[in-house]
Amino acid sequence: MQLDHHLVTIALALSSLLPACSLSEALPPEELQNTERGSFTSDGRFFVVGSRAADRSDAGSWIVEVSKGPQGNYVATNYVAGTLEGTRDGLLGGSPAGDPCVFSGMARHGNLLYVLR
């Protein structure tokens, strides 16, 4: 395959004119590890499946909501713990029931989240 050296030169010249971008860390790794899936709801909320480190009091698999904190940083708020029986009262944020499990996927339809465990 023969490259057109004029096109390569033009492409390199144009790419050098593009502004550089920098990425910043939204959530530190000690906050949320091993993320699997994320989804925005139709009203703009962002949820992700991830795990908390073993040395934390809330260790394990979680669905967390990622939102902007008061200082402009991002925070991950525990939403639902990964357990085989859900919660004792059947409500979001309720006390976890059953053995721990790991969430493996998530999908959204409107404001409903569907999560696989």
d(CA 34, CA 43): 26
Beta bridge partners of 47: 39, 65
Question: Euclidean distance between the first and final Cα of the chain, in Å?
Answer: 48
| Tokens of residue 62, six digits | 């979680």
d(CA 91, CA 93): 6
Q: Whole-prediction pTM value?
A: 0.68
CB neighbours of 83 closer than 8 A, spacing ≥ 6?
A: 96, 97, 98, 99, 100, 101
Which pLDDT does position 24 carry in this prediction? 53
Per domain, the residue ranges of the chain are 26-116
Which pLDDT does position 23 carry in this prediction? 41
Encode the chain (117 residues) as per-residue pLDDT tens digits.
454 445 545 554 444 444 554 445 577 777 788 787 788 888 888 888 888 888 888 888 888 888 888 888 888 888 888 888 888 888 877 888 888 888 877 888 877 888 777
